[in-house]
Structure 1
Amino acid sequence: MSETAVYAAGGVVWRLVDGRVNILVIHRTAYADVTLPKGKVDPGETLAETAVREIFEETGIHVHLGVPVGVSRYTLPSKRTKIVHYWAAHATDDAIRASQFVPNKEIAAIEWLTPKKARSRMSYPVDVEILDNFTRLIDDGVLHTFPIVVLRHAKAVAREDWSGEDALRPLTTRGTKQAKAAAGPLSAFGVRKIVSSDAVRCVTTVMPLAAALGHKIRRTPEISQDAWEEGTADVRAVIGHRVRARKPAVVCSHGPVLPDILRELALATGTLHGSYLDEAAALPVGAFSVAHVSADNPGSGIIAIETHEPKV
């Protein structure tokens, strides 16, 4: 990230009305414009967390992030560059009913429109570009997706500094901070299932997430480094089950195992292998890649993949 740029995040919030996609636009009070919900990153916050928080603050609707739909860049009056990351974000009926939005000094109104009408009402060309990216997902029939998040465990005590079994190596102080910091951005993608190597360093990495969501951790040796080194791992079974389940999930494993996890995810979804998969697997400790898969047709390939690195 540039130290001089201003970073922000938001989303194209959508719902189905009689089988047709409608999107949410906001009418801002001070600017008298029509735009997409977004806002600046708070200190210590990730872009994904910002998008979810800002959408809620401006519309009252809790969402989870779907496919990334682009990045807009423009120059502010201060001459600084503003960079805004956007995701598609499905608003469920329950979330819409729970919204307590009322017009305020920042947002005069929110309005649901068809993409075509929204495009004609946007006040800024950069928003139109984001809407065009979003509309392509509709045209391709891949708007409704679920994420499979591949997470590398947080920083652990080095092997040479540990005299016990490798599977029992704990996280370092930095690793513990990384694990806690990961809970927020992982939650932004609506994770519902948590699958982890049974190694302590992996299980401990997802514990803060499990506590935040109130979910149990499914521990398995099938994606552990010990099993991988012994040739007894069964990555295909774990990933195949997650794709068939079509539920947002995080899979926490080890650096050497991640390429196999991404490779099996590509095979399970009919995705052509490319260098982007290798890049998504080459994660530093505490980082994760989000693979967005079509909920209607998982075999249509990975729709998008994005990588998030820890700030700790």
Structure 2
Amino acid sequence: MSAFPRHVQAAGGVILAAGKVCVIHRPDYEDWSLPKGKLDEGESHEDAALREVHEETGLRCTLGAELSPQQYVDRKGRPKTVRWWAMAVVDDEGLTPSDEVDERRWIPVAEAEALLDYEHDRALVREALASADRA
């Protein structure tokens, strides 16, 4: 076993539509966040972002602009990098609630500031909105 913790790679999406953003509730953490998750072995960040968003929201999306990555130490003490993309919905298959995600909401972007639990998520929503305004 290595003396250094494995660097965790993850990816996720900020899904915007008609002035709203899609957020998820994670019951294990009792928080509201954006959909993201760890890469599978051999998976690209882009593929992981699309897969995780689908698994956690029931939404099939396309990638837009890449947003600022996040780097931090996770709850298990491992360094973690998350790459993010703005996304647009192609199809909504509906959320199947699970132990990981039990609720999905579309909220007005202005309400994201109050509902999202993490500043880095709020900053990503602002960045995605600014990116969409430039497109």
- Of 122, 130, 134, the residue aligned with 2:128 is 134
In structure 1, the partner of 2:117 is 123
Q: Indicate which of 22, 31, 46 corresponds to 1:48.
A: 46
| Distance in 1, Cα, partners of 2:94 & 2:89 | 14
| 1:84 positional shift | 0.6
Query: How many angstroms apart in 2 are the aligned matches of 1:52 and 1:11?
Result: 8
Aligned to 1:135, the other structure's residue is in SS state helix
Corresponding residue number in structure 2 for 1:9: 11
Which is greater in Rg?
A: 1
Shift of 1:78: 2.6
- Tell me, in whole angstroms, the C-alpha distance in 1 between the residues paired with 2:75 and 2:25: 21
Deviations 1:44-63 (A, max 9, x none): 00000000000001111111
Alpha-carbon distance between aligned partners in 2 of 1:77 and 1:90, rounded to the nearest angstrom: 30
Q: 2:97 aligns with which of 98, 103, 106?
A: 103
1:63 is aligned to 2:61: yes
TM-score, reference length from structure 1:
0.40
Give 1:45's aligned amino acid.
E
Letter in structure 2 aligned against 1:77: R
Q: Which has the higher strand share?
A: 2
Answer 1 or 2: which has greater helix percent.
Answer: 1
Tell me by how many angstroms 1:125 deviates. 1.7
| 5+ long unaligned stretches in structure 2 | none
Work out the CA distance in 1 between the residues paired with 2:21 and 2:9. 23
Provide, for residues 82-122 of structure 1, a one-character-per-residue CA deviation record: whole Å limited to 9, x for no partner: 11111000114xx12xx131222111100001112112211
Deviations 1:8-53 (A, max 9, x none): 000001212xxxx211000012111000000000000000000000
Contact map agreement 1:34 1:121 (CA 8 A) in 2: yes
SS at match of 2:77: coil
Q: Which runs of 4+ in 1 moved over 3 A?
A: none
Quote the Cα distance in structure 1 between the aligned partners of 2:72 and 2:109.
23
Q: Which amino acid aligns with 1:9?
A: A
CA RMSD in angstroms comes to 1.5
Q: Counterparts of 1:21-100 in structure 2 under 5 Å? A: 21-92=19-90, 95-96=91-92, 99-100=93-94
**Residue correspondences, number:** 131
Superposed displacement of residue 4, structure 1: 3.2
SS of residue matched to 2:56: helix
What SS does the corresponding residue of 2:102 show, helix, strand or coil? strand
Deviation of 1:127 after TM superposition, in Å, equals 1.1
